[in-house]
Chains A and B, each alone.
Chain A
Amino acid sequence: MARFVLEDSRSEEAGKSALVKILSVWAVVSIIGMALVWFVLGPHLAPGTMTDQAQGAQFDIKFVSTLVVPVLLFVWFFFGYSIMKWRVRPGEDGTLPAANLSGNSKAQGAWYVITTTLVLGLAAFGTYFLIAPAGAGGGEGASPIWTPGTTKLLQVQVIAQQWRFTYRWPQFGGMETTGIELPVNTEIEFNVTSLDVIHDFWAYQLGVKADANPDYNNVAYTKTLATGRFTVRCDELCGIWHGAMYNYGTVVSQQQFEQWATNMEQQNASVTKLLPKYSLTYTPSYSGAGGGYYNTSVDPNANL
């Protein structure tokens, strides 16, 4: 039997030439793709620019999306070119040997170094943009470690229960409202808790998300930058009406907010007196609505 000879199209030289072609096209298309993502798509990405935290999240999504472009293109071009060039054509014996290539220390080494560098870089990037904007709008638990550099904060307590959100305002006599308005250009501290099961306070346009845990205070910060409407949705499954647990809020001017809050405080004064004393958590219940929040003289879990 004649000794098998590998075709020129699968030789080492052919491989080198193919690599140059792939890398050349990849570099050009990547630059175009990255520019399109950064400049065209980027400004429209979620979650918008209503707050410092939302703006940060939008920047992060834009940055990672731009970085993803060359990664996707590299893999696609590599696979696509290989399949097009080295596929078995009709009439060709597909069981003959191909290039006897079981590894390449340079290629493997480069891959390890590049992927490790990328990953470590992304982790450093994520850590910086978590810490810099005061926890990036995420729930930081009862004792937040990344806080805004000011003590001048508007405190809003978010109370979640099956299946609605209400808000308490300790700086306005501890009043409770069913709607939420926030002043622009203000640092906000959300104290998020639950009266029953785990919910999640997701104020989409504010770039804020924090689980509402029973018997636990979860703090998240944001700084409003622009006026407008925002959506609040529950983002942890909390029972049958989870899908209907949403409402809307508005970021307004500081004067409008003062006026709204003062009006609400006066309107709600008689109800506020009946509420339990403002607290960072309230005794939750598995079964009764609101647990200890509505009737502190009865242990809501006595019959459990």
Chain B
Amino acid sequence: MAIDFSQETKSGSSGASAHKSSIFQPSIITGMVGGGLGFLFGHWAGNAIAGGYQQVVGSGSNDAAIVLGYLFAVVGWFAGLGALNYPLKKMLGFEPENVEHTSDPGWGKYFRYTTDHKVVGVQYLFGMLVYFFTAGLLALAIRTELLSPVHHIWGPDTYLEIVGEHGTMMMMMMTSVVLGPFGNYVIPLMIGSKKVAFPRLEAASFWFTPISYFILLSALWQGGFQSGWTSYAPLSVQQGVGQDGYIFGFGLQGLSMICAGTNIVVTIINYRAPGMTWGRLNVMGWSMVSLGFTMILSVPVLIDGLYVLALDRTAQTSLLYGPHGGSSFLWENLFWFFGHPEVYLLAIPGFGMVAEIVPVFARKPVFGYKTAAAGMIGLAILSFFVWQHHLFQSGMNPDMRPLFMLTTELISIPTGFIYLVGMGTLWRARIRLTVPMLFMLGVYFNFLFGGVTGVYVSDVPINVTVHGSFFVMAHFHYTIMGGVIFAFFGAIYYYTPLVTGFQLSEKLGKIHFWSMIIAFNSTFLPLFAVGLLGQPRRVFEYAARLQTLNDWVSISSYVLGLSLTFFVVTWMWQIVVTRKKSVRDPWSSRSLEWHVDSYPPPAYNFETIPVVVAGPYEYADPDALPMADIVVANAGRDVARENVR
């Protein structure tokens, strides 16, 4: 795919192609119709092909029909969305119109396949919130079951279906929760670009996510999958057709990550404005480059693994079955070769967001800018060399355990860089405790628990006790929810004025923050003790002596749910009903995205490509030039241009 460096952009009613206004205009509705028809066709084809297979006749369930149904549903979905119009026309020798920006002022554009990065960013924001709240409700269902060690709300099968759905949906969502909404929306503005490198890849990355959400959820109606988000074989081979929903849903999310990662890396490398040197690139830009590369290199391995699993389930290949030449260790390796980089590709954008926002509210440069960038690159690189720490007790490669213990503990060094950057930036600062800043400080507070408990988990002798227990569960919730989700909410408060043009209430935001951080810690801190006291993960029965702790956790989780509900209600109320106009540059940021002509930014982002003459963090220098000539247009453009390095 050739990259268009021209930065010439066109606006239209939609990005895929210019559409006439009619009910047949491609949209989410036509996408769903296409998906439904595709599923029916694929299901029919699967039955026609494999209906006579011995294992299908014997079991009464046909994995091939489900898998082909999902496959054609995806094709129908994209065809219905109109996503295939451009490439098909191109292949047939026509010259379709290439529209990068949507000038349509209505809401309809958010329900269509568009190639406008700002529309895609908003679509991602709402899409990820739907993911998060669905999986959050499933978490509350888990905690409700664990109110009692012996009395049950759900049967053991339903309980494990809920556990699997919660884990898989959260892990899928977290990969895109910062990159999707903020990477896509803000990065082009931040680097002074009018567009992204691959608008259709970017759009596709989003439109994979709704169908993967529906496919994953549909597994519940197929008996679910009682194998958790890790879905170790042979359990996942043994499962019913609900497991196919996991395979396909996760696989589509993988494709989404590859598309999104490729686009963001190429955009940052190639579309930085003149003068936006690597030394001036925002820290969030560095985090996105690190994240993008991690995605591109790790996600294909997940897709390989899912493919192997699908083959074992449909074509009986026995690749994961020892006596026929396969190995159950194969899945464990493929899964975690993706799974551990994934953990860092969740954390890295959270760190990027923190390092981006803290200087604005500290009125200081990022302390150790190069250290921050090195920290994120270091995390990304090391993340590929630690995966077997998930398998310390598996019996595989026991002599490799000291090496994987070392590499895992080395991760503490780049993670420590992020803390050094935060502490240095706050030192002798002028700290404004705004809502976004509180959330960023919350990331540092929460992640610290996640970080230090990582030492326990990585230490092989201690791992013997904590592996597979609630201790590990608390550890990764502290790093992921305590880290990236707090950063995500902080970013929502920070960027809402830019994205919507409306100002949010500090008071309501602070109620949300304080209730969320207290409830979060009250939910997850006791779980370290629960794990150390011997409660394994994913059990629906546990020792009676642990009931008090479990009940405390469950009640705290309800408060956490209420806090998040409070956010949804107050945030929607403010952007839909009260709609208080934001002032220009409400946080007094130097960064380019806040210096566009209007909020929300105009369709074309910048009237002319800005020329960057200074860094984004020179808050403490009273004589610093503005970051680019867009804000000195009338008073010294020539001077500004002379300063371009």
**Contact flag A136-B430 (CB < 8 Å), given A115-B413, A141-B397:** no
Residues of A at the B interface (CB closer than 8 Å) are 3-4, 10-12, 14-15, 45-47, 53, 56-57, 60-61, 64, 68, 71-72, 75-76, 78-79, 82-83, 86-88, 92, 94-104, 107-108, 111-112, 115-116, 118-120, 122-123, 125-127, 129-130, 133, 135-142, 144-146, 192, 196-198, 200, 202, 204, 207-211, 213-219, 231, 233-244, 283-284, 286-287, 301, 303-304
Instruction: State whether B465 touches A61 (Cβ < 8 A).
Output: yes
Most chain A beta-carbon neighbours within 10 Å: one of B428, B534, B538: B428
Cβ-based interface call for B30 (8 A)? no
Knowing A3-B622, A83-B426, A95-B363 touch, does A56 contact B444 (C-beta < 8 A)? no
In the bound complex, CA of A234 to CA of B621 (Å): 60
Is the CB–CB distance between A46 and B399 below 8 Å?
Answer: no
17 A–B pairs (Cβ distance < 8 Å), ordered by A: A60-B462, A75-B423, A100-B621, A107-B424, A123-B405, A126-B459, A126-B462, A130-B401, A135-B398, A138-B464, A146-B398, A200-B393, A238-B235, A241-B156, A286-B237, A301-B323, A304-B55
For the complex, give the distance between the alpha carbons of A87 and B429 in Å: 8
Q: A56-B461, A75-B448, A98-B363 are in contact. Are A119 and B431 (CB under 8 A)?
A: no
Q: Does B227 contact A (CB under 8 A)?
A: yes
Q: A197-B235, A198-B232, A303-B58 are in contact. Are A79 and B426 (CB under 8 A)?
A: yes
Q: Which residue of A lies closest to B428 (CB)?
A: A99
Closest residue on chain A to residue B236 by CB atoms: A197
Partner of B429, one of A82, A107, A116, A215: A82
In the complex, which residues of chain A have a beta carbon less than 8 angstroms from the beta carbon of B361?
94
Bound-complex Cα distance A167 to B626 (A): 74
Task: Report if B598 contacts A (CB, 8 A).
Answer: no
Bound CA–CA A192/B394 (angstroms): 10
A198 to B401, CA, bound (A): 20
- Nearest-neighbour CB distance to chain A for B530, whole angstroms, equals 11
CB of B473, distance to nearest CB on chain A (Å): 12
Assuming the contacts A86-B430, A126-B459, A208-B464, asked whether A75 and B413 have C-beta atoms less than 8 A apart, the reply is: no
**Minimum-distance CB pairs A-B, first 3:** A218-B395, A215-B322, A243-B539
Task: Please encode chain B, from 226 to 251, with 1 for each CB lying within 8 Å of some chain A CB and 0 for all others.
Answer: 11101011110110000000000000
Which B383-405 residues have C-beta < 8 A from chain A? Answer: 392-399, 401-402, 405
Count of chain B residues with a beta carbon within 8 Å of a chain A beta carbon: 101
> Are the CB atoms of A237 and B230 closer together than 8 Å?
yes
Q: Nearest chain B CB to A196's CB is how many angstroms away?
A: 7
A95, B588: Cβ atoms closer than 8 Å? yes
B85 an interface residue at 8 Å Cβ cutoff?
no
Query: B620 interface residue, CB < 8 Å from A?
Result: yes
Contact, CB under 8 Å: B429 / A97: no
Q: Contact at B541–A244, with CB atoms within 8 Å? A: yes
Q: Is the interface of A mostly helix, strand, loop or mixed?
A: mixed
Closest A residue to B433 using CB positions: A87
Q: Which residues of B contact A103 (CB under 8 A)?
A: 367-369, 371, 424
**Is A97's CB under 8 angstroms from B228's CB?**
no
Choose from A102, A207, A216 the contact partner of B395 (Cβ within 8 Å): A216
Are B432 and A101 in contact, with the CB atoms below 8 A?
no
Residue numbers in B under 8 Å from A107 (CB-CB): 420, 424
Is B373 engaged at the interface, CB distance under 8 Å to the other chain?
Answer: no
Interface residues of B (CB under 8 A from A): 54-55, 58, 155-157, 159-160, 226-228, 230, 232-235, 237-238, 316, 318, 321-324, 328-329, 361-369, 371, 392-399, 401-402, 405-406, 409-410, 412-413, 416, 419-420, 422-424, 426-433, 441, 444-445, 448, 452, 455-456, 458-465, 467-469, 532-534, 536-543, 588, 617, 619-622
B532: chain A residues within 8 A (beta carbon): 45-46, 61
Further contacts, 15 of them, CB under 8 A, given A102-B366, A119-B413: A47-B534, A83-B441, A92-B430, A94-B361, A97-B620, A99-B620, A127-B402, A137-B461, A138-B398, A138-B464, A146-B398, A198-B328, A286-B238, A304-B55, A304-B316
Chain B: minimal CB distance from A194 (Å)? 9
Chain B residue contacts of A120, Cβ below 8 A = 406
Given A15-B428, A130-B401, A236-B232, A98 contacting B364 (CB threshold 8 A): yes
Q: Nearest Cβ distance between residue B439 and chain A, in whole angstroms?
A: 14
Query: CA separation between A96 and B619, bound complex, in Å?
Result: 8
Report whether B621 and A64 are in contact in the complex, using a CB–CB cutoff of 8 Å: no
**How close is A138's CB to chain B, nearest CB, in angstroms?**
5
- A64 to B466, alpha carbons, bound, how many Å? 13
B-chain residues with CB within 8 Å of residue A86 when the two chains form the complex: 426-431
Complex: how many Å from CA A146 to CA B426? 48
State whether A79 and B430 are in contact (beta carbons under 8 Å apart), knowing that A101-B367, A197-B235, A209-B465 are contacts in the complex: no
A238 and chain B: residue at smallest CB distance:
B235
Given known contacts A115-B413, A207-B464, A242 and B423 CB-to-CB distance under 8 angstroms: no
